[in-house]
Amino acid sequence: MRVLGVDFGDKRTGLAVSDPAGFLANGLCTVTADGKRALAAKIAGIAKERGCGRIVLGCPLNLDGTVGPRAQRAKEFGRLLSEASGLAVVLFDERCTTTEAHEFLDHTGTRGKRRKGVVDTLAAQIILQDYLDSGAAKQ
């Protein structure tokens, strides 16, 4: 089963998709929309188009593991996304994934507009790969 990974952001939302076996995450794209409902509908359409059976949404917990305002926003968006897609939306701890994405882009020398365009997609890919590696996708 393919799984769609989502890095929900204030301005841009990164997406990644797994291979059919649920083994490898691939960065897909970055999407924007006017409002959370429109964004959820756009992502639901992409999930359907790609044949995804589940959506993994990054949930930015606080460093101590507690739920803060950003994680609460992700939970609320997860409900909208589940309604729009009809799919199970799994919240997955995404602490430090954007930092990890920036470090990778530093290492590869990716700068400027190119960096801005790929950091959210890369973060979604990291979230999804971490989820797949955890074994949770097989449950």
CATH of the domain at 117: 3.30.420.140
Q: Which residue has the tokens 């952001």?
A: 9
Q: How many CB atoms lie within 10 A of CB 99?
A: 10
Q: What is the pLDDT of residues 67-98, one digit of tens each?
A: 889 999 999 999 999 999 999 999 998 876 66
What's the total number of domains in the chain?
A: 1
> Higher confidence at residue 137 or residue 90?
90
Q: What is the pLDDT of residues 41-74, one digit of tens each?
A: 999 999 999 999 999 999 998 888 888 899 999 9
Domain that holds residue 82: 2-138
**In which region does residue 96 sit, left (phi positive, over 0), alpha (psi from -120 to 50) or beta (all else)?**
left
Burial of 6 (0-12, 13-18, 19+ CB in 10 A): buried
pLDDT at position 16 is: 97
Measured CA angle at 97 (ends 23, 77), to 5 deg: 85
User: pTM of the predicted model, to two decimals?
Assistant: 0.87
pLDDT at residue 5 is higher than 90: yes
Q: Where are the alpha helices (DSSP H) in 33-134?
A: 36-49, 69-85, 97-108, 112-134
